Amino acid sequence: MTKAELVDVIRKKAGLETKAQTERFLDATVASLIEALQNGESVSFTGFGSFKVVERAARKGRNPRTGKEIDIPASKAVKFTVGKQLKESVK
């Protein structure tokens, strides 16, 4: 599903008047989610799942093309955990 398709579905289900209004709503939702994660907060949607930032430790890796060992620096990543209701609905 593309963003445009998602906007159409949300507009119909929420009864919003225009695609532009729905797209602003979706953009604001995504921006709020990103802002919360940047601030180190977890974001949970009951039944759907939760997003949280996890720290990845520095580690050694290997360049698959050359086989040379490389250092991979520590980093942060977003982890999504599926909620029970979503997990059961796609079985």
pLDDT at position 76 is 95
H/E segment holding residue 44: strand 43-45
pLDDT at position 91 is 84
Q: Which CATH class is domain 44-91?
A: few secondary structures
pLDDT at position 80 is 97
Distance CA 32, CA 64 (A): 38
pLDDT at position 61 is 95
What pTM did the predictor assign? 0.78
Strand pairing category for 75-82 and 49-56: antiparallel
Separation of first and last alpha carbons in the chain: 19
pLDDT at position 5 is 95
Report, as ranges of residue numbers, the positions in the chain whose pLDDT lies below 50: none
